[in-house]
Amino acid sequence: MKRILFFVVLLVTSISLFAQKDITKFMGIPIDGFKHEMIQKLKGKGFVSSASDKNILKGEFNGIQVDVHVVTNNNKVYRIMLCDAHQMDETSIKIRFNKLCQQFKNNSNYVSIDDYTIADDEDIAYELTVHDKRYEAVFYQKPLAIDSTEIAEKLKETVLSKYTQQELDNPTEEIQKDIYKMSLDYAIEIVLKKPVWFMISEFAGGYYITMFYDNEYNRANGEEL
């Protein structure tokens, strides 16, 4: 068992696993809790209520005027949605989208699995209308690291639920590979819980960016079906 535990600790250290309690943040605010609490926290960042709807906030974010929506599931906040307050033409939205991609890519607090940049010769209007193409980019906030021993203990619980003590005392190569896979799956699951993504939206011939900061721990997963 000590050999397995050492293996897990070593693996955890090498791939930098992180705390499950670590959730997505927007402007430093954890995306969690009740809606009215979140609205007050956002107002503390300078956003103000819309004249037409007190649940919609307005303000500046990353140099752009935006409308901010707080979305809940089961009375708990799971998403902050931002929409550009002003529409723009095709050329401008392409520049804005690509600039955002570059900003996120250059931000050390995020990781991504793809390059979402739109080519200069891409006909956005045609692709959206004819091919119903979605222009979106997904990034993930890096989790905050914690003591690898604590993570190892959590992984050990998972391992013990699958293998007997005897199997762990003398693990086969197949068991070691499975533990490695379980650890990687655990790491990937944690990272995927903190997505920040944005897309090009269209209305009446104009374009704008819609951005989402999601806490996947609070998202509906069919519990009430």
In which residue are the tokens 């799956």 written? 185
- pLDDT the model gives residue 19: 43
- pLDDT the model gives residue 20: 43
Integer Cα distance of 58 and 82 in angstroms: 9
Q: What is the mean pLDDT of the chain?
A: 85
Pick from 155, 157, 175: nearest CA to 166: 175
Q: How confident is the model at residue 145 (pLDDT cuts 50, 70, 90)?
A: low
**For 169-225, what is each residue's pLDDT tens digit?**
788 888 778 877 777 777 677 778 899 999 999 998 899 999 999 999 898 877 677
Least confident of 12-16, 113-117, 124-128: 12-16
pTM passes above 0.75: yes
Pick from 166, 106, 143, 165: nearest CA to 18: 143
Which residues partner with 70 through β-bridges?
80
**For 4-46, what is each residue's pLDDT tens digit?**
444 444 444 444 444 446 899 999 999 999 999 999 999 999 9
Q: Is pLDDT of 121 > 60?
A: yes
Tokens of 85: 């307050």
